[in-house]
Chain A
Amino acid sequence: MTELQDTGERRRSADAPLSITALIDEETVQSIAQEAWSALVGEDEFLVPLPGGLPDDAVSSWVDVRGPWNGAVVITTGRSTAEQLSRELLKEHAPPVLDDEDIEDGLGELANVVGGNVKAVLPGPSALGLPEVGSAPAAGPDTCRVDLLWRGQSLTISVQGATGAPLDN
């Protein structure tokens, strides 16, 4: 009787990491972001799908997603845009001068809500990390990115695979 040889081919195929571009498209990411903006920033706040240059002081917020797909959902925008967004989130409770903690909290919560809704359209049960804020994590080739304008200011949202995700900070 011939013994079957385990070449590992099938196992490798089953274990191959899922590609984000096969799981979600730019239109879905934009739609999720728009829903979050309408619910949290304001009903009349719109994200326009147009590319614009990010300023040198760009800041990112992100949440990790762990499950069948591993990666991060990252929002990147200029510091002053992040401040305006946090002010809109706080509305009448916004202090005259927002400190760094408020700005990071606001941008982090937007990543949290967008990330949670991205997680909901991915296959299988996944866990969401706590929001983090800092320099934009490097994006690998497995990235679904949308370039948007909010009130004429640039903002990008990336759903990026773990290669470029800040998983073990």
Chain B
Amino acid sequence: MKILVADDSRVMRQIVIRTLRQAGYDDHDIVEAEDGADALAKVSSEKPDLVLSDWNMPNMTGI
């Protein structure tokens, strides 16, 4: 499974990825996006199975 983690904070992306690994999702492919616009582009290019997104981000929100 490919998971897209979208958050404008690098620290928070690391926390989410660490939490995923601790929860047993350590053998999945994880892709990062640094704001809403980047997330939208990577949804198209990476075609993730799951998106975990922050809401409040610059450029474009997670919604």
Contact = CB atoms under 8 A, between A and B. Distances in A.
A108 B8 CA distance: 11
A115 to B, nearest CB: 10
Interface residues of B, number: 11
B14 A130 contact: no
B54 to A, nearest CB: 9
A93 B32 CA distance: 14
Contacts of B14: 89-91, 93
A161 interface: no
A40 B58 contact: no
Majority secondary structure of chain B interface residues (helix, strand, loop or mixed): helix
Interface string A101-142: 010011011001000000000000000111100000000000
A77 interface: no
Contacts of A102: 10-11
Nearest to B10: A105
Nearest to A127: B56
B60 interface: no
Interface of A: 40, 86, 89-91, 93, 102, 105-106, 108-109, 112, 128-131
8 tightest A-B CB contacts, nearest first: A89-B11, A109-B9, A106-B11, A93-B14, A105-B11, A109-B11, A109-B12, A105-B9
24 contacts: A40-B15, A89-B11, A89-B14, A90-B11, A90-B14, A91-B14, A91-B18, A93-B18, A102-B10, A102-B11, A105-B9, A105-B10, A106-B11, A108-B9, A109-B11, A112-B9, A112-B12, A128-B56, A129-B56, A130-B8, A130-B56, A130-B57, A130-B58, A131-B9
